[in-house]
Chains A and B, each alone.
Chain A
């Protein structure tokens, strides 16, 4: 299957700092990427849909000024958590839509805000 690379896998930061997470499609071009948040033992919660060259579409209740998404190329989307607080601690996962509409996920980023 197609490969989606997500970095970093784990990040610990101080409250008030910003954290950037990268999501790359390694062997295909992805016009659409998705960002999810996952709490322990729960399902995937869609945060936003990222389309190359245009503004991301955020789900209801997701603060677009706090979770900045940039999809500047067909192989890279980034999620920046601005002014992170402990309540932002979570597992963040990206995914990218490949050929035939198949969806492939990155390996996830565990964010811990102290």
Chain B
């Protein structure tokens, strides 16, 4: 089955700096890669996603890149703000199932 690895597990950045979270996947059949933000005591919220026919996607301060050949994808957050502090999960999907990374706890220091 699919195996998704996510790094780093924890990340601290100064407010205004950029944050990058990286994930790798193993199944070349995966074709959809969403990212979720989870705040304490809440369910994950879809923040951005990318499909395998696209290499990069951007939405305001967040962007996702995908390298199909290397089987890795990354989340980039620019101009970080304290409200960006949360746990972020990547996922890979073949359409029927979703496989999640282990999460990255991001702390933005004011």
Interface membership of B100, Cβ < 8 A: yes
Is the CB–CB distance between A103 and B34 below 8 Å? yes
Is the CB–CB distance between A110 and B41 below 8 Å? yes
Is the CB–CB distance between A93 and B44 below 8 Å? yes
Is the CB–CB distance between A43 and B44 below 8 Å? no
**What count of chain B residues pass the 8 Å CB interface test?**
21
Query: Which residues of chain A are near B93, meaning CB under 8 Å?
Result: 101, 103
Is the CB–CB distance between B102 and A104 below 8 Å? no
Interface membership of A50, Cβ < 8 A: no
Shortest distance from the beta carbon of A34 to any chain B beta carbon, whole Å:
7
Is the CB–CB distance between B98 and A34 below 8 Å? yes
Shortest distance from the beta carbon of A17 to any chain B beta carbon, whole Å:
23
Residue of A49, A102, A108 near B43 (CB, 8 A) is A108
Is the CB–CB distance between B46 and A104 below 8 Å? yes
Is the CB–CB distance between B45 and A105 below 8 Å? yes
A→B interface (CB under 8 Å): 1, 4, 6, 34, 41-44, 49, 91, 93, 95, 101-108, 110
A-B contact pairs, 9 of them (CB 8 A): A43-B89, A44-B44, A101-B95, A102-B46, A102-B49, A103-B93, A105-B36, A105-B43, A108-B42
